[in-house]
Structure 1
Amino acid sequence: MNGAPLLDIEYVLPLRWGNDETMDDLTAYLTRLRAWADVTVVDGSDPDRFASHASAWSSLVRHIPCDETTGANGKVRGVLTGIASARHERVVIADDDVRYDYRALAAVVSELERATLVKPQNHFAPLPWHARWDTARSLLNRALSDDYPGTYALRRSALLSAGGYDADTLFENLEMERTIRATGGRIHSRPDIYVMRRPPTARHFLSQRVRQAYDSWAQPLRLAIEAAILPTVWILRHRPGSLALVLLMIVVLAERGRRRLDGRSVFPATSALWAPLWVAERAVCSWLAIAVRLRGGVRYGGARLRVSAHSQRSILRRIAEEAGPRWPQTATDAGGR
């Protein structure tokens, strides 16, 4: 959007690349983005690739190295580095595959007038088969509660006052949300603010199936429901009519998520039909995630991460211990979710 005013925000983009296949697309995006916001790219790539990125981006945005001492989760390290060096109170955090337009960026920033943390809704573009498959997950999440996007807007001071969030957790988005809640922050879900996201490669998508299922360890009820799918199918194996009814209910539920808050403007009409495939995937991967837990956790960046995300109660306890006895425990909900 040419002529749009500069927003009073810091846009923090953490990345750690093993190849530069998407560099041209990201460079074009940064070129647009710098007219709308102050941008900081936190780069945890190897030295040669970091130097190449610096050559391409330093004239466009601020390009800085990632603090490698804060934990095993590289994305969290990048976020915490970016938050610490941010020049603005209002910060937008976005994965390297997120592509805001000006309207969506301005909308999440405006919402920070009333909230501590804002959750918009991602949607994939373009839509290869694996992006359609994963879109079904978003639709089911939208139908039942909220989706977890690859981008958030937040107030820098809230995260700093909490001492950051744990960089040794796998489900870093949920860990950050619970940390903000533990400090008494207000989280606003805005599933009506649609932000484009580039799909991963099919190979990367396939490599993430068990890892994403492992995230449910942070939500025990969800994990129990997902693990119950295979036994339920076994019980109904000789009742095809009942199985067909269950499949229909899954499609209807996904369609409800697609229709919520004008979701039809970004989610194609066939999106809900992929939902049974995603549910079948999660039925299998939830048990694989249980097996991985017994082996010590998911491999991530050369280490094993056992904790998906901490309960809100344990986060509140950690913040209180680090701040000392005078820290006011004023969270609106100190219990786990």
Structure 2
Amino acid sequence: MSLASPTGDARRAGRRWDVGHDGASTSPARLPMTYVLPLRWHTDTGLAELTGYLRWLADRVEVLVVDGSAPELFARHAEAWRGVIRHLPPDTAERGLNGKVIGVLTGVRAAGHEHVVIADDDVRYDEAGLTAAHRLLGRVDLVRPQNYFDPLPWHAWWDTGRTLLNRALGADYPGTLALRRSTFLAMGGYDPDVLFENLELIRTMRAYDGTEAAPAWLYVRRLPPNAAHFRGQRVRQAYDDLAQPARLLTALAVLPALAAAVAARRPALVLGAAAGTVALAELGRRRAGGTAVFPPTTALAAPVWLLERGVCGWLAVAQRFLLGGVRYGDTRITRAAHRPHTLQTRPRPR
């Protein structure tokens, strides 16, 4: 679905969530929207920053945190957020391997509004982003915004190469989605036993004939993980490609193609492929005003990320067939996401 892009000034307006344009706190009119944040923390190192963001959000939308953290952390969160947001545990009636999906199912059902934003704990909306998502949900059932990292340490730069390639070839998979609650409930939610939960939700919505918008201009800030967390996620993120055969085959072809070029002593082929990958990423960077949030050097990260995915793709396939799946918390998940055909042929909830 194509929708008009806001101006550059509108995209930049309100990018900082803690203050208004004059440096003072703002109290705008609240939107009829619920913000659902599924949470499961093992440490509270970011509690103060997240609490400030939640306070800012609570002035603008209903905020609901579904907290699957350990009891001592849950109690600490309840104290920090008392009187500010709705704080509740995951529904014990829900069963599934993916704790985030359980949190989403709990939160959407408990939401007080038709328009719902689902966001990871590192996502930071501004007023323009909330308002745009709300308006788009007046026309479609599902909205896929575009995340960008700010600040941009080396590992966030690295991962931005993936983002730009996704933008050039279609749409990225962000850490946040917005949806209509009635459509979500009517389709019966989505499977909590898959790893790539955002793709599963998108495919389930499509199978239910839900409408979708992926506005490349709707930029939503994301805080980068620490470097250790980034390193620990490489194979797990590559495992997502098992649900997308074309992407998986491309990733698996990287190392054989590189080895063949080296064996044939054809460095020009390697350099040409790298240059082509950078050019493709640059198209994604320039799309829909992306130069406002993606620095020029981020296109150079694309061949680096592609080489990494070529290595991790093979490791992901090995984990699937040798270990039965990829590690997720205290368990292993086998399925990345269901095929679209499988979801389309399933009986629909009454």
Shorter-chain TM-score above 0.5: yes
Partner of 2:86: 62
Determine the C-alpha separation between the residues in 2 that align with 1:58 and 1:137.
39
Retained in 2: the 8 A contact 1:123–1:266? yes
> Once the 2 structures are TM-superposed, how far is the Cα of residue 145 of structure 1 from its aligned partner?
1.0
Q: When the two structures are superposed, what TM-score results if normalisation uses the length of structure 1?
A: 0.94
Determine the C-alpha separation between the residues in 2 that align with 1:201 and 1:190.
28
Q: When the two structures are superposed, what TM-score results if normalisation uses the length of structure 2?
A: 0.90
Say yes or no: does 1:38 pair with 2:62: yes
**Counterpart secondary structure, 2:145:** strand
> Once the 2 structures are TM-superposed, how far is the Cα of residue 56 of structure 1 from its aligned partner?
0.1
Q: Deviations over 1:182-213 (max 9, x none)?
A: 11100110110100000011001000000000
Determine the C-alpha separation between the residues in 2 that align with 1:227 and 1:44.
36
**Counterpart secondary structure, 1:154:** strand
Q: What are structure 1's unaligned runs of at least 5 residues?
A: 324-337
Retained in 2: the 8 A contact 1:104–1:194? yes
- Which of the numbers 262, 266, 284 marks the counterpart of 2:311? 284
Retained in 2: the 8 A contact 1:12–1:41? yes
Say yes or no: does 1:275 pair with 2:302: yes
Say yes or no: does 1:124 pair with 2:152: no
Determine the C-alpha separation between the residues in 2 that align with 1:183 and 1:242.
44
Q: Deviations over 1:276-298 (max 9, x none)?
A: 11011001000001101102011
Determine the C-alpha separation between the residues in 2 that align with 1:118 and 1:27.
26
Determine the C-alpha separation between the residues in 1 that align with 2:276 and 2:340.
33
Say yes or no: does 1:312 pair with 2:336: no
Partner of 1:258: 285
Q: Which aligned pairs between 1:47-86 and structure 2 lie closer than 5 A?
A: 47-68=71-92, 69-86=94-111
Say yes or no: does 1:221 pair with 2:249: no
**Counterpart secondary structure, 1:288:** helix
> Once the 2 structures are TM-superposed, how far is the Cα of residue 125 of structure 1 from its aligned partner?
0.8
Determine the C-alpha separation between the residues in 2 that align with 1:318 and 1:42.
29
Structure 1 counterpart of 2:292, one-letter code: S
Structure 1 counterpart of 2:285, one-letter code: R
> Once the 2 structures are TM-superposed, how far is the Cα of residue 141 of structure 1 from its aligned partner?
0.4
Partner of 1:326: none
**Counterpart secondary structure, 1:191:** coil
Partner of 2:206: 181
Q: Identity over the aligned pairs, expressed in percent? A: 53
Determine the C-alpha separation between the residues in 2 that align with 1:319 and 1:199.
40
Q: What are structure 2's unaligned runs of at least 5 residues?
A: 1-19, 21-25
Retained in 2: the 8 A contact 1:72–1:301? no
Retained in 2: the 8 A contact 1:139–1:258? yes
**Counterpart secondary structure, 1:190:** coil
> Once the 2 structures are TM-superposed, how far is the Cα of residue 318 of structure 1 from its aligned partner?
3.0
Q: Deviations over 1:16-62 (max 9, x none)?
A: 00001111110110111001100000000011100000000122100
Q: Deviations over 1:219-254 (max 9, x none)?
A: 111101110111111111110011111110111111
Q: Which aligned pairs between 1:1-337 and structure 2 lie closer than 5 A?
A: 1=20, 2-68=26-92, 69-237=94-262, 238-294=265-321, 295-320=323-348, 322-323=349-350
> For structure 1, which segment, 200-209 or 65-74, has the greater mean C-alpha deviation from structure 2 after superposition?
65-74
Determine the C-alpha separation between the residues in 2 that align with 1:126 and 1:32.
20
Retained in 2: the 8 A contact 1:162–1:319? no
Cα root mean square deviation, aligned: 1.0
Determine the C-alpha separation between the residues in 2 that align with 1:106 and 1:70.
33
